[in-house]
Amino acid sequence: MIRKVLTRAAILFTLVLSFAFLASAADATISANGGLRMRSAMSTNSGVILTIPSGATVNVTERGDSWCKVTYSGKTGYVSTRYLVFGAATTSRSGEVRDSLAQKRQVIVNAAVAQLGKPYRSGYNGPYSFDCSGLTQYVYKICGYSIERGPSSQLRSLGVSVSKENLLPGDLVFFRDSRYGSGVATHVGIYVGNGQMIHAPNRNQTVKYTTINSGYYAKYYIGARRVVN
C-alpha cells in the first residue's frame, strides 16, 4: 500500500514538473534599445553568441528571475530577463515583417562579425583586407545589397537617416574628422547593438568592435543610415 502511494506521488510530481517546464516555454519580444546579447552562460562575463535585434521574437525555453534560456535564429543561449516582454509575440502581418527585417539585420551583423581580425588596407574591399567603406560595402554585398564605396557617398545615398537613439543592428554609422579629409564623412562602421560598431579603423589595426558612445568616435559621430528598412 505504501509503495503504491509513493509510486502515485512520484508520477504526480513528474507530471507537475513536466507541466511547469512546458509552461515556461513561451515567446517573448526583445525590448533592449540597440539589441540584446545572447550569451553562452548566465553571466555578463561569458561569451557573446550573437546580438538579437530590438523587436525580434525569441522562444524562451527556461525562464528565471535574472536570466532566460532562449532560442533565436537557430542559436540557443542566455539573455537578461529584464529585456524580455512576454505575451507580446508578433502575430500580425506588420509583426511578421518586423521579424523578417530583424533577421535580415542580424545576417548583416553576423557577416560583419565574420570579418573581425582581418587587417586594414587602404583601397581594399575584401575578402581578406579592408578599408572602412570597403568593409561596409563587402558585408552588405555578401548579404545581397549593392552599395557604393566611400563613407561620404554612403552617407549621402543610402537608405534613410536614423537618430543615434534609434539605431538598430546593421545600420551604418558615420564620422567626420577634418584631419582625414574634406568629405561629408571620413569614416563609416556597422552598428551591432549595445553602443558598439564593427569597423576597419586605420592602418596597423584590424577589423574590430569599438564603442560609439565615448572617446574619439563619440566626438566625431555625425549620423547614421538604415538600408534594411
Residues whose CB is less than 8 angstroms from the CB of residue 42 and which lie 6 or more positions away in sequence, other chains included: 64, 66, 67, 78
- Which residue in the list 37, 105, 199, 225 is annotated as catalytic? 199
- Which residue in the list 69, 105, 118, 187 is annotated as catalytic? 187
CATH of the domain at 160: 3.90.1720.10
Q: What pLDDT, on the 0 to 100 scale, is given for residue 15? A: 43
Same domain, 129 and 205: yes
3-class secondary-structure state, position 113: helix
Same domain, 105 and 191: yes
Q: Write out pLDDT tens, residues 112-139.
A: 999 999 999 999 999 999 999 999 999 9
What's the domain range around 171? 100-226
Instruction: Answer whether residue 94 is part of any domain.
Output: no
Q: Write out pLDDT tens, residues 163-193.
A: 999 999 999 999 999 998 888 999 999 999 9
Same domain, 194 and 127: yes
Instruction: Answer whether residue 15 is part of any domain.
Output: yes
Q: Is 143 a residue of the active site?
A: no
Same domain, 110 and 221: yes
CATH of the domain at 30: 2.30.30.40
Mean pLDDT of the chain: 85
Instruction: Answer whether residue 120 is part of any domain.
Output: yes
Task: Name residue 176's beta-bridge partners.
Answer: none
Instruction: Answer whether residue 105 is part of any domain.
Output: yes
Q: How many CB atoms lie within 10 A of CB 138?
A: 21
| Total domains present in the chain | 2
Q: Is 199 a residue of the active site?
A: yes
- Which residue in the list 132, 168, 188, 227 is annotated as catalytic? 132
- Which cell goes with 142? 555578401
Q: Is 226 a residue of the active site?
A: no
